[in-house]
């Protein structure tokens, strides 16, 4: 079969003995970000994504903590992470190989709209972070593998669309009930301050004062509300900002300075801990 529509850039990053990560953006599916990787020692720092995460374990076992759920994903399991959910991942029992995708909210909403016949009123939400479904996991792995290999054809498109349609039908609430949970207004002010000053140094006293809370109360309630301590939250937001700049082809040294990292090596370490690849690999695949 003739290979067509090869992704514009496919980045292979050596991670260490027996480890590798290949990242690309798939032009056939709205520049959908995709990752295929084998990790034996790499441990993800707890982090969030602005996108969804959906993929399948191909071999081995990954220990995960996703939105408070702690468990393990093995071959035949499918993993889902909703936007903003705190999660991590670590190899167990010798490591794992997986295939992942990072669909934007609009991508998922578009499929949900096709299914409902109208625009969903709220953002679809996957109910469980890990589901056991070897057949559907195989569908994803096959579609993902064909796209990585450059087989951009009707069969690849149909397999990918089938996966997301079945995943949303069986494992997601297309229009979940909305429960208004308002954080302490002081915490919201501190969060907004962090987002507006990512390139600046911060201290606990300043953030607590902005929130109108004691430092102890601020630390306790911030972590309870957002799932992370303020410093981890700050680093996570800096990575989100770095990701957006890298997508606009800004060089990593400039990104590091603009997002408040000490230097490029600091950016590399924090970014790789959350994304599994370096900023350079992420930018090159843009």
Measured CA angle at 163 (ends 159, 165), to 5 deg: 115
| Equal fold, 11-173 vs 185-284 | no
pLDDT of residue 181: 62
Query: Angle at which helices 230-247 and 185-196 pack, to 10 degrees?
Result: 40
As its CATH architecture, domain 185-284 has Orthogonal Bundle (1.10)
Give domain limits for the chain: 11-173, 185-284
Is residue 252 within 8 Å of 246, Cβ to Cβ?
A: yes
In 3-state terms, what secondary structure has residue 64?
A: strand
Query: How many whole angstroms separate alpha carbon 60 and alpha carbon 95?
Result: 6
In eight-state DSSP terms, residue 41 is S
How crowded is residue 173: how many other Cβ atoms within 10 Å of its Cβ?
A: 14
Q: What's the pLDDT score for residue 266?
A: 96
Residue 186 parent element (H or E): helix 185-196
d(Cα 91, Cα 248) in Å, to the nearest integer?
A: 32
> CA-to-CA distance for 127 and 124, rounded, in angstroms?
10
Residue ranges for the chain with pLDDT beneath 70:
1-17, 152, 178-182, 286
What CA–CA distance (Å, rounded) separates 106 from 220? Answer: 34
Helices (H), 197-251: 204-211, 215-226, 230-247
CATH 3.30.930.10 for the 11-173 domain, yes or no: no
């Amino acid at each position: 079969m003739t290979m067509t529509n090869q992704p514009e850039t496919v980045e292979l990053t050596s991670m260490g003995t027996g480890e590798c990560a290949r990242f690309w953006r798939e032009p056939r599916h709205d520049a959908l970000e995709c990752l295929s990787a084998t990790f034996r020692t790499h441990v993800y720092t707890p982090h969030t994504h602005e996108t969804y995460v959906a993929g399948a374990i191909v071999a081995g076992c990954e220990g995960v903590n996703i939105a408070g759920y702690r468990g393990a994903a093995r071959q035949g399991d499918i993993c889902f992470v909703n936007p903003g959910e705190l999660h991590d991942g670590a190899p167990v029992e010798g490591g794992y190989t997986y295939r992942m995708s990072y669909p934007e909210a609009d991508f998922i909403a578009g499929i949900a709209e096709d299914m409902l016949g109208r625009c969903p009123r709220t953002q679809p939400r996957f109910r469980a972070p890990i589901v056991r479904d070897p057949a559907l996991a195989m569908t994803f792995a096959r579609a993902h593998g064909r796209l990585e290999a450059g087989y951009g054809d009707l069969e690849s498109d149909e397999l990918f669309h089938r996966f997301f349609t079945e995943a949303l039908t069986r494992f997601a609430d297309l229009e979940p009930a909305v429960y208004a949970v308002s954080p302490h207004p002081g915490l919201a002010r501190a969060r907004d301050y962090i987002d507006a000053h990512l390139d600046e140094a911060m201290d606990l006293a300043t953030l607590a004062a902005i929130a109108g809370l004691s430092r102890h109360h601020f630390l306790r309630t911030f972590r309870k509300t957002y799932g992370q301590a303020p410093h981890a939250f700050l680093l996570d937001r800096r990575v989100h900002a770095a990701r957006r700049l890298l997508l606009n082809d800004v060089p990593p040294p400039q990104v590091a300075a603009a997002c408040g990292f000490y230097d490029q090596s600091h950016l590399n370490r924090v970014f790789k801990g959350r994304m599994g690849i370096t900023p350079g690999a992420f930018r090159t695949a843009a």
